[in-house]
Amino acid sequence: MPAQDGRRFVVTGASGGLGLETARVLAGRGAEVVLAVRNREKGERVAATLPGAVEVRSLDVADLSSVRAFAADVGPVDVLVNNAGVLAVPHALTVDGFETHLATNHLGHFALTNLLLPRLRDRVVVIGSDAHHSARLDLDDLNWERRTYRPYAAYAASKLANLLFLAELQRRLTAAGSTLRATGAHPGSTATAITANTGNAFFTWVGGWGHRVAGMPAWQGALTTLYAATMDLPGNTFIGPGGPLGMRGWPTAVGRSRDAIDPELARGLWQRSERLTGVAFPLGD
């Protein structure tokens, strides 16, 4: 990984897990790192353990007012890492009235990215999941109002949304003549606390122990993100572990499902996301 001196990174959800490990390596390589966190106190505690220039800023990506406030005040950024996320949580609506997976994993980062694009200098990194392969995205029921809510299906749909966002963002950047690029990554099976809030004790236990037994430690899971954030890659490259079933291994370019590369589905999601968030692509199309 090349030195990152003089470069400024924003990492959402950086107070633990993959976000924290990503921030740790970036700061150790000379970058200025903004920990964009929901829990400011926890962010300050972990920042004190990191090397180099680290700043803590409040951001709740599930709250569009928080996203707007953060974007208005953060200043120029070289790389935005859209890392924050939730997995298989019980049904709930955010303060803006959106289903939690949709709001946290997709809409908040969609809004944040578009608000920051005029001040970005290098790239956006979108964190996806191999779970997108099993997903179905219903553009007419993104908020799970007509269908029976299923936590893992809602998570997988939000991860498919991430990859559709990645592809359409790069298409729009290219069409606008921008030199910015969008890249993506997924961590495979990694032992973090993301499975701790499923609301189902059995699934929480299986998820936590399964990742510990079959997966990678958080520092290794973060390598795909770091690769996507710092290496010279073409836009719309998706990085994942190169081992069996994409669960573990070292970073490499990986494939996507047919739905994840569907241009019509990507455009449809983008249009609905603009309407839901009130945030549009700022560079022309």
Catalytic position from the list 149, 152, 155, 227: 155
- 35 phi/psi in degrees, rounded to 5: -85, 110
Q: Does the annotation mark 155 as catalytic?
A: yes
CA separation for the pair 177, 158 (Å, rounded): 28
CA separation for the pair 117, 124 (Å, rounded): 9
Which residues carry out catalysis? 155
